[in-house]
Structures are given as C-alpha cells and as structure tokens.
C-alpha cells in the first residue's frame, strides 16, 4: 500500500515537468522555447561549445576551440564539422569520442563566425538529428605602423 502513493507522486511530478516544458516550448521566450523543444524532442544536447566565447576579442593568429559531446553515447563523432567563416577547418582539431579540440587558423581582422555541428541519435528510436552551435567573435586589428620620425620637427632621412 505504501508503493501506490509514491508511484502516484512520481507520475504527478513527471506530468507537471512535461506540462511545464510544453508550455515553455509553445509560449516562452525564444531561447527558452528552442531549448524546451530540443529537450522534449531530442533529449540532452549532442554538443557544447566551451571555447571560444561569443563576442570574445582575440589577437590575430589562431583561436583555441574546445567542443564537448555531453551525450557521447548518441553522437556519431565522424560527422563532426567545424567551420570558420564558412570554410571547413575540421582537420585542425583532434577528434575523440567525447569531444574535439585544437587551434584553428585563418582568422580575419574584425568579425569572425565559428560554427560547429554534429549528427546523432534522438532519444526517440530510429530518429537522427543535427545539433549545431554558432557564434561570432572579433579579432583585433594589428596596430598601424607609422613612419619613424627623427627629433621633433625633423623629417626622416
């Protein structure tokens, strides 16, 4: 007799959680709405972008990219791609079953866009989906080098 109230309580809690996610998926703010839909349809995200951060200011040269696969058992790691300004730079990263990382070269002065994507299995049987993250960061320009000047008032030789 003690098991029935626990089962009833658990089923009520689960129903309330699903209803809350459904309301967020239909009427919440845009970002919460997309996250709630993703959780309802796909489960945990397939990838997380740990570095770089959105809006980060970096020096010209390279940038460190670190990607994790929190649902590694559902990820098809061979489908992972990394795009920098729409150019495939996946070969610059080391790929493993739990993520990818490395330095990416080919940055442009000013605004740069990084996109990482991977395919994996949904928690619903027989369904595959793509998970992607995209962010922008800025590369600070090199300082302008002016002509050298001699003592005050004189022109260079």
For residues 43 and 13, which has the higher predicted lDDT (pLDDT)?
43
Given this model, what pLDDT does residue 5 score?
Answer: 66
DSSP for residue 90: G
The residues, any chain, with a CB within 8 Å of residue 87's CB and separated by 6 or more, are 106
Report the percentage of the chain scoring pLDDT > 90. Answer: 42
DSSP for residue 31: H
50 falls in which pLDDT band (50, 70, 90)? very high
Given this model, what pLDDT does residue 154 score?
Answer: 58
Given this model, what pLDDT does residue 68 score?
Answer: 96
Q: What 3-state class would DSSP assign to 140?
A: coil
Given this model, what pLDDT does residue 86 score?
Answer: 95
107 falls in which pLDDT band (50, 70, 90)? very high
Residues 118, 125: contact at Cβ < 8 Å? no
Q: By 3-state DSSP, what share of the chain in percent is helix, strand and coil, each rounded to 5?
A: 25, 40, 35
DSSP for residue 91: G
For residues 52 and 157, which has the higher predicted lDDT (pLDDT)?
52
pLDDT (mean) for 33-59:
79
Nearest one of 89, 129, 81, 94 to 106, comparing CA atoms: 89
128 falls in which pLDDT band (50, 70, 90)? confident
For residues 106 and 17, which has the higher predicted lDDT (pLDDT)?
106
Distance CA 35, CA 7 (A): 28
Given this model, what pLDDT does residue 2 score?
Answer: 58
Nearest one of 105, 107, 116 to 138, comparing CA atoms: 107
Distance CA 14, CA 16 (A): 5
Rounded to the nearest 10°, the torsion over CA 23, 120, 47, 77 is 180
Residues 137, 52: contact at Cβ < 8 Å? yes
Where are the strands (E) in 8-109, listed by range? 48-51, 57-58, 62-68, 75-84, 87-88, 94-96, 99-105
- Please write the tens of the pLDDT for every residue from 54-99: 888 988 888 999 999 998 999 999 999 999 999 999 999 999 999 9
Q: Mean of the per-residue pLDDT values for the chain?
A: 80
């Amino acid at each position: 007799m003690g098991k029935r109230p626990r089962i009833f309580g658990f089923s009520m809690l689960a129903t309330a959680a699903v209803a809350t996610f459904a309301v967020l998926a239909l009427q919440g703010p845009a970002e919460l709405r997309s996250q709630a839909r993703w959780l309802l349809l796909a489960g945990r995200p397939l990838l997380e972008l740990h570095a770089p951060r959105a809006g980060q200011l970096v020096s010209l040269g390279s940038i460190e990219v670190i990607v994790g696969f929190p649902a590694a058992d559902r990820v098809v790691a061979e489908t992972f791609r990394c795009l920098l300004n729409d150019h495939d730079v996946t070969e610059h990263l080391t790929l493993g079953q739990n993520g990818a990382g490395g330095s990416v070269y080919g940055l442009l002065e000013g605004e740069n866009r990084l996109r990482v994507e991977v395919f994996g299995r949904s928690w619903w049987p027989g369904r595959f989906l793509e998970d992607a993250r995209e962010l922008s960061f800025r590369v600070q320009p090199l300082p302008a080098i002016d002509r050298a000047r001699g003592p005050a008032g004189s022109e260079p030789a």
